[in-house]
Amino acid sequence: MVEVDFDLCEANGVCVGLAPDVFDLDDNDELSISTAAELPENKDAIEEAIAGCPRAALHWRQ
């Protein structure tokens, strides 16, 4: 499962653009991660989001 470090996330939405089925920003600019993150077909998009996050705020849970 992918996780976000809210101390690092600046809610710029890059991950939402790369993996819109997984990430979303609410009205308070807080990132949420949907249960679709568990689906194998979203793994590549999540990897792209982890690599593309300019704040390095996303990571796989160890």
- Which positions from 1 to 40 touch ligand SF4 by CB under 6 A, shown as an x/- string? ---x----xxxxxxx---------------x---------
Cβ(21)–Cβ(55) below 8 Å: no
Rounded least distance, CB 40 to ligand SF4, Å = 21
Residues with Cβ within 8 Å of 5's Cβ and at least 6 positions away in sequence, in order, are 57, 58, 59
Question: Using the rule CB under 6 A, is 57 a contact of ligand SF4?
Answer: yes
Question: Using the rule CB under 6 A, is 55 a contact of ligand SF4?
Answer: yes
> Alpha-carbon distance 38 to 28, whole Å?
25
